[in-house]
Amino acid sequence: MRRPLVAGNWKMYKTAEPAEELARSIVAQVGRDCEVVDVVLCPPFTSLQAVHEALAGTPIALGAQNMHWENEGAFTGEISPAMILTTGCTYVILGHSERRQYFAETDEQVNRKLKAALGAGLSPIVCVGETLQQREAGQIEAVVLGQVQAALQGLSESELLKIALAYEPVWAIGTGRTATPAQAEEVHSLIRTSLHQQYGEGVAGALRIQYGGSVKPENAAELFTQKNIDGGLIGGAALKADSFAAIVKAAC
């Protein structure tokens, strides 16, 4: 059985003090009732230290939203894996569609970041997903599997087992539109079948695949009960403690 993973991506919201308040409220509401689920909070870089302090002594982990592949260098404005580690992070989100769309992040860059994250001992959450135009053109398989294969290129089986994938249809992120459980399960199954063909049952059966894209307390349980969906990468609903806690409990 794969252990569900529910991560909150706070995006560019919450300065340090409100972030710490939100984290403490989530800790209070999630508590220790749901020990079968891995929970991660991913605030902005400037709030990582504050949230780390709020999570101290709890089972909830801390994650960053992005990173550079180099440990240091003349990369103005970037954050390295080594820097992320100093804040207490154990997870990092890579290849989110907003990084690809707004900052021209490529599959090759995602692969380099993934290798660097693994080398630093971080647990990467690698995002993949198609746009509405690509879906309507019948390109789901080519786009999503292409992103998966490019991201995982050159990794060993032991490295693959340290990764989580997050399928996030771009047309469902922040739009209020959610893939139906059947639509989401279809793509998750497609990804897992591809992993089985390329890497075997050991990897395919163990690697966690989250769903992301307008997940709410109202639809979380139905999504998470699908055979190949192993929790969620939550955006807007992660910015309110009660809604995020309800989503976590739906994964229990």
Q: Quick one: pLDDT at residue 1?
A: 80
pLDDT in tens, 103-136: 999 999 999 999 999 999 999 999 999 988 898 8
The yes-or-no verdict on residue 207 having pLDDT over 80 is: yes
C-alpha distances in angstroms, 48 versus 74, 159, 245? 23, 25, 20
Catalytic residue among 52, 168, 185, 188: 168
Of the candidates 96, 98, 130, 188, the residue annotated as catalytic is 96
Please tell me the predicted confidence (pLDDT) of residue 216: 94
Sign of the alpha-carbon dihedral angle for 151, 118, 225, 245: negative
- The residue with greater pLDDT, 35 or 156, is 156
Which residue intervals of the chain are DSSP H helices? 16-30, 48-55, 81-85, 97-103, 107-120, 132-136, 140-152, 157-160, 181-199, 201-206, 217-224, 241-250
Give the pLDDT confidence score for residue 175 in this predicted structure.
72
Q: Is the pTM of this model over 0.85?
A: yes
Q: What's the mean pLDDT when you consider all of the chain?
A: 95
The average pLDDT across 219-248 equals 96
pLDDT at 163: 98
96 is catalytic: yes
Predicted confidence at residue 33, as pLDDT, reads 63
pLDDT band at 177 (very low <50, low <70, confident <90, very high): confident
pLDDT, tens only, 62-97: 999 999 999 999 999 999 999 999 999 999 999 999
High-pLDDT (> 70) share of the chain, %: 99
| 53 in active site | no
Q: Which domains does the chain have, with CATH numbers?
A: 5-250 (3.20.20.70)
